[in-house]
């Protein structure tokens, strides 16, 4: 019951977001190298194309590339299933049916997985948006405010930055987060899961995200509904006031840790 109460509190959507202030706080607290972006699904193409300054691809891409054009180039860009090079990309965000052919995994057999049974098990393990409700998707830097609000926010960060972000998320209304790893197609662990469940979703970006989406070796990806950001930022500010902030200073692997632990883990009461 307590866990359900915490989740219910997290579902409250703010009436508005001050995106410039949110991005300023994230960059100040975490020193992010990559632009935080939003992703939003649309029931019609017309609604997606009505976004101010929306770009449309001229050639087919992976979803990783579309996300990267927002995160690495600062573009606002929208797509439909016809803009994506594979069914895999479209299926994760609900723009392609998760039909029997897709579920078979036959295209991955012998490439990513030893047998068709292994490949099919992988496909069925992925978190994906149900097909049939959406016709288009757009991504845009959060600071632009053009998605007003996005369904989810995508934040790329190093492991050190990410643990501080998660600590901030857990400051008030603590809950344990559990995330999975499907391996290849790890976008299902991040934006697929977050869009499907409305829950914060951390992933280790996969080969395709790094090869086609420009994700750096040291980056993890957090996909998170926007309603979580104000409480996470407040939590990181409270932690910073306690001296727990990014970058995390090295104490020394052979030093007497007593003094440091007294500060980091001593009670404030």
For residue range 204-260, list pLDDT tens digits in order. 999 999 999 999 999 999 999 999 999 999 999 999 999 999 999 988 888 999 988
Write down the residue that tokens 């860009």 correspond to: 77
Per-residue pLDDT at 5: 56
Domain holding 124, by residue range, is 2-248
**Is this model's pTM higher than 0.75 or not?**
yes
Alpha helices in the chain (DSSP H): 2-10, 19-30, 45-49, 63-71, 87-92, 100-104, 116-125, 159-169, 191-197, 207-212, 229-241, 258-264
137 pLDDT exceeds 80? Answer: yes
1 pLDDT exceeds 60? Answer: no
Distance CA 268, CA 53 (A): 49
Q: Is residue 258 part of a domain?
A: no
Q: What is the pLDDT of residues 181-205, one digit of tens each?
A: 999 999 999 999 999 999 999 999 9
Q: Is residue 197 part of a domain?
A: yes
Q: Is residue 264 part of a domain?
A: no
Q: Is residue 260 part of a domain?
A: no
Q: Is residue 91 part of a domain?
A: yes
Domain count, the chain: 1
Q: Is residue 114 part of a domain?
A: yes
| Residue 124, token pair as written in the block | 């069925």
Q: Is residue 257 part of a domain?
A: no
Q: Is residue 254 part of a domain?
A: no
């Amino acid at each position: 019951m307590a866990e359900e109460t915490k989740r219910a509190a997290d579902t409250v959507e703010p009436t508005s977001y001050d995106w410039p202030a949110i991005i300023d706080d994230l960059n100040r607290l975490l020193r992010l190298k990559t632009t935080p972006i939003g992703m939003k699904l649309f029931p019609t193409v017309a609604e997606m194309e009505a976004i101010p300054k929306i770009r449309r691809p001229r050639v087919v891409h992976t979803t990783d590339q579309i996300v990267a054009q927002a995160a690495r180039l600062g573009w606002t860009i929208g797509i439909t299933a016809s803009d994506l090079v594979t069914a895999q990309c479209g299926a994760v965000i609900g723009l392609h049916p998760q039909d029997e052919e897709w579920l078979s995994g036959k295209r991955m057999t012998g490439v990513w997985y030893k047998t068709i049974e292994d490949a099919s098990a992988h496909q069925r393990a992925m978190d994906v948006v149900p097909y049939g409700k959406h016709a288009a998707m757009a991504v845009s830097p959060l600071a632009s405010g053009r998605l007003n609000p996005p369904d989810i926010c995508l934040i790329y960060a190093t492991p050190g930055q990410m643990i501080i972000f998660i600590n901030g998320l857990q400051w008030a209304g603590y809950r344990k987060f559990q995330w999975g790893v499907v391996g290849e197609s790890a976008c299902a662990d991040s934006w697929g899961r977050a869009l499907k469940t409305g829950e914060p979703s951390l992933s280790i970006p996969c080969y395709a995200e790094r090869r086609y989406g420009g994700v750096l070796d040291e980056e993890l990806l957090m996909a998170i509904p926007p309603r979580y950001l104000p409480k996470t930022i407040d939590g990181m500010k409270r932690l910073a006031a306690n001296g727990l902030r990014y970058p995390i200073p090295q104490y020394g692997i052979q030093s007497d840790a007593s003094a440091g632990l007294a500060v980091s883990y001593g009670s404030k009461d």
